[in-house]
Amino acid sequence: MGKTSFVTGGSRGIGRAIVRHLSAEGYAVGINYLQSREQAEALAAEIRQQGGEAMAVQADVADRAAVTAAIRKVEAALGPVNLLVNNAGIAQNDLFQDTPEELWRRMFAVHADGAFHTIQAVLPHMLHEKAGCIVNISSIWGLRGASCEVAYAASKAAVIGLTRSLAMELAPSHIRVNCIAPGVIRTDMVEGLGEETIAALVDQTPAGRLGTPEDIAKAVAFLAREDADFITGQVLTVDGGFIL
């Protein structure tokens, strides 16, 4: 069976590192993006130039019809998806009291509904094959509290709940569902915090550095490996010891 993966939010940051890593491991990769068309297309071109297979597809993961169509487009070109990585995400920084209803709903629409949409789109084939792997990117804030990020943390906790329950449901069909909870990873998402805050976060990390997108990409590749086939329903924290 061919190896085809679909990575949501693959245009930048952690998603881009996941795309590169999976391509190096022999996966054809569907690269989903929302706005960063140029970066997604450049990444797909880079992979093709290196002899890999990749296709960039635009879709808002919160839009069920759009993301399902994007997955079908990738499947028509690269084959049925047997590894799905739900990575698309957005950040938040405001007091709960000031959180607008639209922002609360958007957090759940992107993180929880997004995973619901993509998983339902790839499941029929996985169930038919009795094989497949799903990796959801949550956050350490889905496991622990995060002041000024209540909507973000709550929606990331929803992803953990989805992962555990779905893993139980799908294990008899040999489909594994796992979750990664990254710590602070140096991407556009954290650059906005400013140097002082970033330095304080490094201080709080036992490993003495912030994470890199590659740290998360390696964890995704590990969970996707065939010899990880008894690992399901887990939340793998990749944070240099930050929340120990």
What 3-state class would DSSP assign to 97?
helix
Q: Which of 6, 116, 152, 242 is catalytic?
A: 152
**Closest approach of Cβ 162 to ligand NDP, in Å?**
14
The nearer residue to ligand NDP, 145 or 172, going by C-beta atoms, is 145
Residue 96 C-beta: closest distance to ligand NDP, Å: 18
Under the rule (CB under 6 A), what is the footprint of ligand NDP? 8-9, 11-15, 32-36, 60-62, 87-90, 110, 137, 139, 182, 184-185, 187-190
Burial of 49 (0-12, 13-18, 19+ CB in 10 A): exposed
User: CB–CB of 59/35 below 8 Å?
Assistant: no
Active site residue 27: no
Using Cβ positions, the residue closest to ligand NDP within the complex turns out to be: 89
CB of 37 to ligand NDP, least distance (A): 7
The Cα–Cα gap between 147 and 243 comes to: 15
Name every residue whose Cβ is closer than 8 Å to that of residue 151 and which is 6 or more positions away in sequence.
92, 96, 99, 103, 104, 107, 108
Burial track 139-169 (b if 16+ CB lie within 10 A, e otherwise): bbbbbeebeebbbbbbbbbbbbebbeebbee
Q: Which residues lie closer than 8 Å to 206 by C-beta, 6 or more apart?
A: 240, 241, 242, 244
The CA distance from 184 to 89, in Å, is 14
For ligand NDP, the closer of residues 64 and 174 by Cβ is 64
How open is the CA angle 100-11-51, to the nearest 5 degrees? 165
Q: Which is nearer to ligand NDP, 131 or 190 (CB)?
A: 190
Which of 15/52 has CB closer to ligand NDP?
15
Q: How far is the CB of 152 from ligand NDP (least distance, A)?
A: 7
Q: How far is the CB of 182 from ligand NDP (least distance, A)?
A: 4
| Closer CB to ligand NDP, 2 or 241, in the complex | 241
Q: Which positions are annotated as active-site residues?
A: 152
